[in-house]
């Protein structure tokens, strides 16, 4: 028998995030006929709403999949084995995207980083300038590297590509930035943006999203790899009719429709400002504790997640285990080469000031309980900051 634990579990992972009651209620109903008239209305509505979130008029894909599926669709539709992609090794998710590309037979031109900053637009520009024969077909960057909590400046990457007069497609993973950070698919001239439901969009895991430029669609029409389920071709019609070429994840779409309605009620500027403020409060707490941020570039810190390093010789995984056991809170773990070196506080999606303060208080009590050297007062510093009107 599992032990009774009172109070609601604090889910402070950087995805999945907390589901708002409104989203849960919207999903808690019978399925509908996905070929019937009611579904067509829903399908068209969620496409329009996602366009609003991506700040685009582009073609939208909604796959019953996780973000990884949308990544795979992006590579398969536009590239053939032997094509080169340029990828900045900014963290574990860039690493996983690279590994997928290699498995699909693509060649990777990697740009190293120390996993403590975003992709370097100058390095990208220099690599493209060297590629006189235009063998690089796509530049892939992760907007918010969830493993390190570092952002990449996507417009700066696009400018670097333009300065190098390079025709490669720009592909951006916005999986943990969409709905937390300003993201402008059209204005930034991104060709393919990939996202997922379970982070800033406040929907359970299970939907992979993509926004696709005309240029990327044309590349897909002209070639790409063999694909079937992941093919983008039916999306153009599906966007118009609202119907999918297979059974869609109907109840998740009910949730998505409600979640984006909530985001629309808040408005994008307020939504982004709220996340920036939570991130700032979290960094203030970490600085007060005397702990280092994984993101070493203050201008690149992510609004939706903060990765914090434990002092040398102190296990971040043990700290998280103590926090889970004693205070019923889940935090994100360190991934890949920073496994056990960082813990990540997710502050994206549906949370208010008191939830964040509760999370930070839980971390501070955990630091004490686990014997991790720190200065007390981080949660108090965040309280002082958040007590002022936002």
Beta bridge mates, 172: 141, 193
Supply φ then ψ for residue 223, to 5 degrees.
Answer: -175, -125
Beta strand 84-89 pairing with 107-112: parallel
**Binding residue for ligand PLP (CB under 6 A) from 16, 43, 61, 67?**
67
Smallest gap from Cβ 304 to ligand PLP, in A, equals 9
Q: Quick one: 196 or 248, whose CB is closer to ligand PLP?
A: 196
Smallest gap from Cβ 9 to ligand PLP, in A, equals 19
∠ CA 318-320-323, nearest 5°, is 110
- Note whether 330 binds ligand PLP by CB under 6 A: no
Smallest gap from Cβ 100 to ligand PLP, in A, equals 10
Contacts of 343 (CB under 8 A, 6+ apart): 307, 308, 310, 316, 319, 320, 331, 332, 333, 334, 363
Tokens of 158: 């696009």
Smallest gap from Cβ 199 to ligand PLP, in A, equals 7
Smallest gap from Cβ 22 to ligand PLP, in A, equals 22
Q: Quick one: 150 or 322, whose CB is closer to ligand PLP?
A: 150
Q: Quick one: 73 or 382, whose CB is closer to ligand PLP?
A: 73
**Binding residue for ligand PLP (CB under 6 A) from 40, 64, 68, 107?**
68
**Binding residue for ligand PLP (CB under 6 A) from 196, 303, 346, 378?**
196
Kindly indicate which of the ranges 32-40, 62-70, 181-189, 217-225 contains the residues binding ligand PLP, using the contact rule CB under 6 A.
62-70
Smallest gap from Cβ 208 to ligand PLP, in A, equals 7
CA dihedral for 236, 242, 248, 249, sign (positive or negative):
positive
Beta strand 84-89 pairing with 136-142: parallel
Smallest gap from Cβ 64 to ligand PLP, in A, equals 12
DSSP assignment of 70-137, as one string? Answer: HHHHHHHHH--TT-EEEEEE-SHHHHHHHHHHHHTT-EEEEEE--SSS---HHHHHHHHHH-TT--EE
Tell me which H or E stretch contains 12. strand 10-12
Annotated binding site for substrate: 344
**Binding residue for ligand PLP (CB under 6 A) from 15, 20, 61, 362?**
15
CA distance 311 to 190: 39
CB atoms within 10 A of CB 387: 9
**Binding residue for ligand PLP (CB under 6 A) from 127, 157, 175, 316?**
175
CA distance 378 to 355: 15
Q: Quick one: 114 or 312, whose CB is closer to ligand PLP?
A: 114
Q: Which of 286, 265, 287, 284 is nearest to 276 (CA)?
A: 284
Kindly indicate which of the ranges 64-72, 106-114, 240-248, 289-297 contains the residues binding ligand PLP, using the contact rule CB under 6 A.
64-72
123: DSSP letter? H
Tokens of 99: 């590994």
Q: Are 346 and 10 in contact (CB under 8 A)?
A: no
Q: Quick one: 344 or 374, whose CB is closer to ligand PLP?
A: 344
Q: Quick one: 10 or 93, whose CB is closer to ligand PLP?
A: 93
- Note whether 146 binds ligand PLP by CB under 6 A: yes
- Note whether 272 binds ligand PLP by CB under 6 A: no
Cα–Cα separations (whole angstroms), residue 284 to 280, 288, 370: 6, 6, 21
Q: Quick one: 59 or 146, whose CB is closer to ligand PLP?
A: 146
- The footprint of ligand PLP on this chain (CB under 6 A) covers a number of residues equal to 11
Helix (H, G, I), strand (E, B), or coil: what is residue 387? helix
- Note whether 179 binds ligand PLP by CB under 6 A: no
- Note whether 173 binds ligand PLP by CB under 6 A: yes
* Upstream peptide bond of 16 is cis (omega within 30 degrees of 0): yes
Q: Are 48 and 284 in contact (CB under 8 A)?
A: no
Site of tokens 């400002």: 273
Residues of this chain, 85-114, that bind ligand PLP according to CB under 6 A: 93
For binding to ligand PLP (CB under 6 A), which residues are involved?
15, 66-68, 93, 142, 146, 173, 175-176, 196
């Amino acid at each position: 028998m599992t032990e009774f634990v009172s109070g609601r579990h604090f889910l402070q992972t950087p995805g999945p995030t907390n589901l708002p009651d409104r989203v849960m209620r919207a999903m808690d109903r019978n399925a509908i006929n996905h070929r019937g008239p009611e579904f067509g209305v829903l399908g068209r509505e969620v496409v329009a709403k996602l366009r609003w979130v991506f700040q685009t008029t582009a073609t939208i894909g909604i796959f019953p999949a996780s973000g990884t599926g949308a990544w795979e669709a992006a590579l398969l539709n536009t590239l053939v084995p032997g094509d080169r992609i340029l990828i900045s090794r900014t963290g574990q998710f860039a690493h996983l995207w690279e590994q997928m590309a290699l498995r699909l037979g693509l060649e990777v031109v990697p740009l190293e980083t120390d996993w403590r900053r975003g992709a370097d637009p100058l390095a990208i520009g220099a690599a493209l300038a060297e590629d006189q024969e235009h063998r690089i077909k796509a530049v892939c960057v992760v907007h918010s590297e969830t493993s390190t909590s570092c952002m990449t400046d996507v417009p700066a990457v696009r400018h670097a590509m333009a300065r190098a007069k390079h025709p490669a497609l720009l592909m951006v993973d916005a999986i943990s930035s969409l709905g937390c950070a300003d993201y402008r698919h059209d204005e930034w001239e991104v060709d393919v943006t990939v996202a997922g439901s379970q982070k800033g969009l406040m929907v359970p895991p299970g939907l992979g999203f993509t926004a696709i430029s005309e240029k990327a669609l044309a590349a897909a029409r002209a070639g790409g790899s063999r694909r079937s389920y992941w093919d983008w071709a039916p999306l153009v019609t599906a966007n118009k009719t609202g119907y999918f070429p297979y059974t869609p994840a109907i109840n998740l779409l009910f949730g998505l429709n409600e979640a984006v309605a909530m985001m629309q009620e808040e408005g994008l500027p307020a939504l982004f400002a709220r996340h920036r403020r939570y991130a700032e409060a979290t960094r203030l707490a970490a600085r007060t504790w005397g702990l280092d941020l994984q993101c070493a570039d203050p201008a690149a810190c992510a609004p939706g997640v903060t990765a914090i390093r434990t002092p040398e010789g102190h296990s971040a995984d043990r700290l998280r285990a103590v926090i889970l056991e004693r205070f019923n809170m889940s935090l994100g773990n360190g991934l890949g080469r920073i496994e056990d070196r960082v813990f990540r506080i997710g502050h994206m999606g549906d949370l208010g000031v008191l939830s964040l303060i509760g999370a930070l208080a839980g971390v501070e009590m955990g630091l004490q309980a686990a014997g991790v050297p720190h200065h007390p007062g981080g949660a108090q510093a965040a309280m002082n900051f958040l007590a002022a009107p936002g």
